[in-house]
Chain A
Amino acid sequence: MLEFQFESLMAFLAMAPHGAYVWPVYILGLLILGGLTWVNLRQHRQAIRLVKRQLEREETHES
């Protein structure tokens, strides 16, 4: 049932005559999913860093 629909890998990449429409959409999808993952990780790291700084300040106050 599963049959590769293109004659070659090049034909697949060209996806004639609509490669110029199909591939950019999937690349944008990849960028958006990857971008959101990166933003979340960065936000998480920043929040942790903020708490660390706060803890350090509290420690210097106490000593």
Chain B
Amino acid sequence: MSWRWFHQWGSPRWFYERAGRWQLVCGWLALILLVVGSLWGLGFAPVDYQQGNSYRIIYLHVPVAFLAQAMYAAMAVCAVVLFVWKMKLADVAMQAIAVTGLAFTVLSLVSGAVWGKPTWGTYWVWDARLTSMLILGFLYLGLIGLRAAIQDPDQAGKACGILVLVGVVNLPIIKYSVEWWNTLHQPASLKLTEKPTMPASMWMPLLVNILGYYIAAAYLVLGSMRAIVIGRERRASWVKELVGRA
């Protein structure tokens, strides 16, 4: 088996040149999916017989909550790649994902709190799911702070990699919090292994939005990575060549 596809990722130049195209495709695809999915969920999905229209927050809340966790897992994979293969781009990805992941975590917490008011009668309870998500937010915040505090990018990358790997313990806690403890938060709405608890007219737009937000996250992370690569490689001849040509 050829490992060329993997080794290519060791070249920031290779990545930068291609990521621009990938970003364009992701950007348009995400925009189309999110417009379709959101309008479908907001206007065409049936009203919930218990929660009324407030349940329509699900079409934003569930995708961003999924992503907040998936992005942390992606950072952990990057940390492993950084430690095992010393790939610089993995560190760039960690840096980019931390900011985007924090944004998605905040959006997930705020949308959940707003949904909680008409459903539970309160914006916030210190229950296991909400608290573990808040901790995820602090982990992202800690990573951004740690990187800002260390000047040498290589040292900062290593320190952040360790913190990311330690924080992975929080992911199963978030996932199983609704089963291990008595919580106000409902169990998972969609599972890969089971039939959805909602009718198709409700979960189909949700699926479109989940896909849309995933691709939007890829678009944002790629954009951020490209900017970081140019910043870090500013003394490399290929960057000077590229800027000189422009």
Contacts and interface: CB of A to CB of B under 8 A. Distances in A.
Contacts of B111: 25, 28-29
Contacts of A60: none
Contacts of B43: 4-6, 12
Contacts of B115: 21, 25
A6 B45 CA distance: 10
A34 to B, nearest CB: 11
Contacts of A21: 54, 57, 114-115, 117-118
B230 A48 contact: yes
Given A16-B53, A17-B52, A25 B223 contact: no
Contact of B45 (A5, A15, A55): A5
Given A22-B53, A22-B54, A48 B243 contact: yes
B74 interface: no
B53 A19 contact: yes
A22 B47 CA distance: 13
A12 B44 CA distance: 10
B43 to A, nearest CB: 6
A47 B201 CA distance: 46
Interface residues of B, number: 45
Contacts of A2: 40, 44
A24 B43 CA distance: 16
A10 interface: no
Contacts of B64: 29
24 contacts: A2-B40, A2-B44, A3-B44, A5-B44, A12-B43, A21-B114, A21-B115, A21-B117, A24-B114, A25-B110, A25-B115, A29-B60, A32-B106, A36-B100, A40-B223, A40-B224, A43-B224, A44-B230, A46-B227, A48-B230, A48-B246, A50-B234, A55-B240, A55-B243
Interface of A: 1-6, 12, 15-19, 21-22, 24-26, 28-29, 32-33, 35-37, 39-41, 43-44, 46-48, 50-52, 54-55
Given A4-B43, A21-B114, A43-B224, 8 more contacts: A1-B201, A15-B56, A18-B56, A21-B115, A22-B42, A28-B111, A29-B111, A48-B230
